[in-house]
Amino acid sequence: MHSFRDIVFTISSISDVSEIVPLTVWLIFGSKKTPYLQLGIFFIVCFFVKLYTLVTADLHENNMPAYHLLALLEVAAVYIFYCQLLYGKVFKWGVFLLVILHVGNALFFQKIWTFNSLTWTLDMLFIITLGLIYFYRIYKDEDDYTPLRGRPDFIITVGWLVYAAGSLFTYLMGSEILSGYAEGFFKNGWFFQTVSNILKDIIISYGFWLTNKK
């Protein structure tokens, strides 16, 4: 009988390549216009970065720099998506601050060869904040009567919020989870992040599919 650790490792491997689902849906069905264009490109890049981390993990190589890069790419992509969605433009100073935060963490706090739990945690809180701002905006928008279930931006936001909320515990406790043998419930806390990531990819895939529907 498989142990909880084996199950978590299997789900984690699936999560590492689950970005192929939204990127495939976007390439075939999704809108290639702003703001979905940049989000689709992110999933393409993210898939290859995560594929690299999966291969290097099997080879027992230190792949922490890839996670530093992945964190920055992810939060920047989400920030750009909501800037374009809510304001029709990207505030470049926001991207600059995100770069400074991640580079500064890699240089002075959690070095490039260690897991960047600090920036991942802040990123999840930031994504949750962006999602709530979006919800507030559509709540105040009295001129749009489109059912929420038919709005790709709403569906995609749900996906990001599920991911950020499910991942927050894992990233808050990331250093402790990684500090020992993956045995027992706590040391396999990656389960929350991997499941929420898979759910995010499925939900966003549906959102991409809706982007070209009338």
pLDDT digits (tens, 9 = 90+) for 42-99: 999 999 999 999 899 889 899 999 999 999 999 999 999 999 999 999 999 999 999 9
Alpha-carbon span 33 to 146, nearest angstrom:
20
Alpha-carbon span 40 to 149, nearest angstrom:
20
Distance of CA 115 to the CA centre of its chain: 16
Residue 75's contacts (CB-CB under 8 Å, 6 or more residues apart) are 98, 102, 123, 126, 127
Neighbours of 120 (CB within 10 A): 26
How high is the pLDDT of residue 6? 67
Look up residue 33 and give its two tokens: 């216009």
Average pLDDT (125-137) is 96
Q: Say if residues 171 and 121 touch (Cβ distance below 8 Å).
A: yes
Alpha-carbon span 46 to 197, nearest angstrom:
12
Burial string for 28-44 (b: 16+ CB within 10 Å, else e) reads: eebbeeebbebbbebbb
Task: Give the chain's mean pLDDT.
Answer: 88
| pLDDT for 117 beyond 50 | yes
How high is the pLDDT of residue 26? 97
- Helices within 35-179 (DSSP H only): 36-58, 64-87, 92-104, 117-140, 152-172, 174-178
Q: Say if residues 117 and 170 touch (Cβ distance below 8 Å).
A: no
Residue type, 58: D
- Select the more confidently predicted residue: 193 or 41: 41
- Select the more confidently predicted residue: 5 or 29: 29
Question: What is the sign of the dihedral through the CA atoms of 104, 108, 114 and 116?
Answer: negative
| pLDDT for 18 beyond 90 | yes
Average pLDDT (181-210) is 78
Distance of CA 34 to the CA centre of its chain: 19
**Which pTM does this prediction carry?**
0.90
Rounded percentage of the chain residues whose pLDDT exceeds 70:
86
How high is the pLDDT of residue 177? 53
Residue 7: phi, psi to the nearest 5?
Answer: -65, -45
Per-residue model confidence as pLDDT tens digits over 153-193: 999 999 999 999 989 888 876 555 554 444 444 445 577 88
Alpha-carbon span 67 to 65, nearest angstrom:
5
